[in-house]
Structure 1
Amino acid sequence: MEMLQYALRKFITGIPLIIGVTLISFLLMVYFGPDKTYELIGKNATEEQIQEIRHQLGYDRPFVTRYIEYLKELATFDFGYSDSTGERVSSILERTIPISLALILPGFVLGNLLGIALALVAAYYRGHWLDKLIMGGSVIGMSISFLIVIIAFQIIFSSNYGLGWFPVRGWNVYDFWDYLRYVTVPTLATIFVALGYNTRFYRAVIVEEMGRDHVRTAKAFGTPPGELLFKHVLKNAMIPIITRIMFSIPLVVVSGSLLIESYFGIPGVGKVTYDAITTGDQPILKAVVGLTAVLFVLVLILNDIFYKLVDPRVSLK
């Protein structure tokens, strides 16, 4: 009950954040976004035709009225119709979000789990050649652009110039084996980049925890490495680890899926967002920006709840 009350209270306090993000983004789209009037009716239209189209598009309504309507759309998840395809935006999102989750989740989960595992090994053998090897690999992963990694992995694993084991583009998934064929290369690319950042951060957190008195005492008494790392170190290092994992979710969902889906031709929400940016499809852009703001607030709530689950001493007040 306490957690539910806290979640509701936190969501209410997060409403100003949602309003702020959506207001700025809506302001930019209204005053700097493309005007679809002449794109729809051409340059030789009469003044009456121009006014009629602008009325249909809502351009003649006051800014405040249009923004309030946008907030209503966000509250009801009804964002109207796409300017490019004429399809309902909610239908597009219902179709594409599951694809994006199926594409991003394996790399996100494995990137964090492997990052924690490598960080534990590197921290335990601090200064050893194994630590230097892991940290050297992390620096390489951090130094290379995600875009370069995607292109390189496409060439190595998917093209005729490389191994050619996996499809270069597309998402023709009908069963589990099809899913593995299409998700493997994007997942490997995601893990490669994620390991660089995750391992370095998690190692720093774990090294700091291993320097505490109770950990050094347990190590001096001959506590086995597994028990030392998982019971005494990792358990107490979970709060900063959870923070990093949770706050990377919106970034991974938006920017990560946008790059991967664009270059692999996967029809997820990232590809739809990319197409909306290039074509100026405002209904889709408004939906993505608004839902991302809501996702960020939900992440804030879940982050604090996980704090409480990991460490019951944390107060939800």
Structure 2
Amino acid sequence: MNLWRYLAKRLLLMIPTLLGVLLLTFAVIQFVPGGPVEQLTQQLRHSAEGGEAASTASSGLYRSQGLDQEQLAELKTLYGFDKPASQRFIDMLWRYARFDLGESFYHHQSVGSLILSKLPVSMSLGLSSFLLTYLCCIPLGIAKAVRHGSTFDLLSSTVILVGYAIPGFVLGVALLVLFGGGSFLQWFPLRGLTSDDWATLSPLGKALDYLWHLVLPVTASVVGSLAVMTLLTKNTFLEQIRCQYVLTARAKGLSERKILYKHVFRNAMIPLVTGFPAAFIGAFFAGSLLIETLFSLDGLGLLSYESVVKRDYPVVMGSLYVFTLVGLFTRLLSDLCYVWVDPRVQFDAARG
């Protein structure tokens, strides 16, 4: 019963949080200059005047730019700005309650289908980075904790901290120069996720070609998170190794291997396991603008940036709604995993 009460409370708390995020973003958008009406009007003026540079400052200037009030009203109606902001916000909430994210101003397709079309690219990048991070950081962190203070520990810490200090896009540029046909080797492709002859390849050839294109962008995006997770793993294992129950187990004559993997491993994995759902689900929606731009990957990061620049408000609000909703449920799932892996945490305590 406590579990269901806790879930009901958390689900109810999601509603004001989600509304607050949407309301704040919607309010900020109202004060951002250069909306879709202004941008389209300026494009029409450039076309009429042969590309002469000018700017639109207020609706009072539209008539001097070749648009009368009737045409201006039609543009506002086209983009939905003929209604008051409060009514537009309420209409948006009603659509979102039915998971209708609206239609993009510039792509001329639904926001939901647009996000789904960009999702495979970001999912490939994020999921590969996630798997590589966890597969490397856990054994490396355990090895560092067991050999704390050794030469291996110091050298590996130096390498991963240097990698952490290098921004992902800088590392990406270096990888392209070194291995992407820049000034040195041409081992990996410069851009995209598939080769030009991808459609003619066998299923195994397609898989290998896809992985081949992922090597450089995944390497550029994984180095920073790898350093953080490795040090977190090391510190949690090191903290557990110094606990009293480990000394007691050693006094009973248990081997170091049995102590490490039977007792220490279970307790030390709690922080990593609780962060696993957020990292796993986040991998499906991970969008790195710089990495995607650098390697010409048309994913969610590039979509979000372009929608902000073009003032494509349905895409901005729709993607924010999806990401916030996913983030809230992921946080709830992480808390449930914490209770699942650590019996000392009770829902009564969380409720209180």
The reply to whether TM is greater than 0.5 is: yes
The amino acid across from 1:179 in the alignment is Y
Counterpart for residue 40 of structure 1: 40
Between the two proteins, what is the percent identity of the paired residues?
29
The amino acid across from 2:97 in the alignment is A
1:16: how far off?
1.5
The superposition leaves residues 140-181 of structure 1 with CA deviations (integer Å, 9 ceiling, x where unpaired) of: 122111221122222222224232222111133652122111
Matches of 1:302 and 1:162 in 2, distance apart?
A: 46
**Gapped regions of structure 2 (runs ≥ 5):** 45-64, 200-205
The superposition leaves residues 207-247 of structure 1 with CA deviations (integer Å, 9 ceiling, x where unpaired) of: 21211111233245454444333322221123322344455
Counterpart for residue 323 of structure 2: 292
Q: How many residue pairs align between the two structures?
A: 317
Closer/same/farther in 2, CA of residues 279 and 47 from structure 1, 3 Å limit: same
1:46: how far off?
0.3
Counterpart for residue 272 of structure 1: 303
Q: What secondary structure does 2:288 align onto?
A: helix
The amino acid across from 2:245 in the alignment is H
Q: What secondary structure does 2:96 align onto?
A: helix
Q: What secondary structure does 2:259 align onto?
A: helix
Counterpart for residue 30 of structure 1: 30
Please report the RMSD computed on the Cα atoms of aligned residues, expressed in angstroms.
2.5
Which of residues 101, 110, 114 is equivalent to 1:92?
114
The superposition leaves residues 118-139 of structure 1 with CA deviations (integer Å, 9 ceiling, x where unpaired) of: 1111111111111111211221
Matches of 1:204 and 1:52 in 2, distance apart?
A: 62
Which of residues 169, 173, 184 is equivalent to 2:191?
169
Matches of 2:34 and 2:253 in 1, distance apart?
A: 67
Closer/same/farther in 2, CA of residues 47 and 22 from structure 1, 3 Å limit: same
> Does 1:12 find its partner at 2:34?
no
Q: TM-score, normalised by structure 2?
A: 0.81
Matches of 2:287 and 2:103 in 1, distance apart?
A: 25
Matches of 1:136 and 1:146 in 2, distance apart?
A: 18
**Gapped regions of structure 1 (runs ≥ 5):** none
> Does 1:68 find its partner at 2:99?
no
Counterpart for residue 80 of structure 1: 102
Task: Report the structure number with the largest CA radius of gyration.
Answer: 2
1:294: how far off?
0.7
Q: What secondary structure does 1:291 align onto?
A: helix
Which of residues 232, 237, 240 is equivalent to 1:209?
240
Counterpart for residue 130 of structure 2: 108
Q: Say if 2:287 and 2:299, in contact at 8 Å, map to a contact too.
A: no
Q: What secondary structure does 1:236 align onto?
A: helix
Q: Say if 2:145 and 2:238, in contact at 8 Å, map to a contact too.
A: yes
Matches of 1:262 and 1:142 in 2, distance apart?
A: 21
The amino acid across from 2:80 in the alignment is G
Closer/same/farther in 2, CA of residues 207 and 283 from structure 1, 3 Å limit: same
Counterpart for residue 173 of structure 2: 151
Counterpart for residue 140 of structure 2: 118
Closer/same/farther in 2, CA of residues 147 and 219 from structure 1, 3 Å limit: farther
| Mean Cα deviation higher: 154-163 or 108-117 | 154-163
Matches of 1:159 and 1:280 in 2, distance apart?
A: 36
Q: What secondary structure does 2:83 align onto?
A: coil
The superposition leaves residues 75-121 of structure 1 with CA deviations (integer Å, 9 ceiling, x where unpaired) of: 33322222222122111112111221122101112212311221111
| Mean Cα deviation higher: 22-31 or 53-62 | 53-62
Matches of 1:271 and 1:27 in 2, distance apart?
A: 24
Q: What secondary structure does 1:277 align onto?
A: helix
Counterpart for residue 339 of structure 2: 308
Q: Say if 2:123 and 2:283, in contact at 8 Å, map to a contact too.
A: no
| Mean Cα deviation higher: 238-247 or 282-291 | 238-247
Closer/same/farther in 2, CA of residues 187 and 313 from structure 1, 3 Å limit: same
Please list, as runs of the form range in 1=range in 2, the aligned pairs for 1:217-232 lying within 5 A after superposition: 217-232=248-263
Matches of 1:148 and 1:2 in 2, distance apart?
A: 49
The amino acid across from 1:187 in the alignment is V
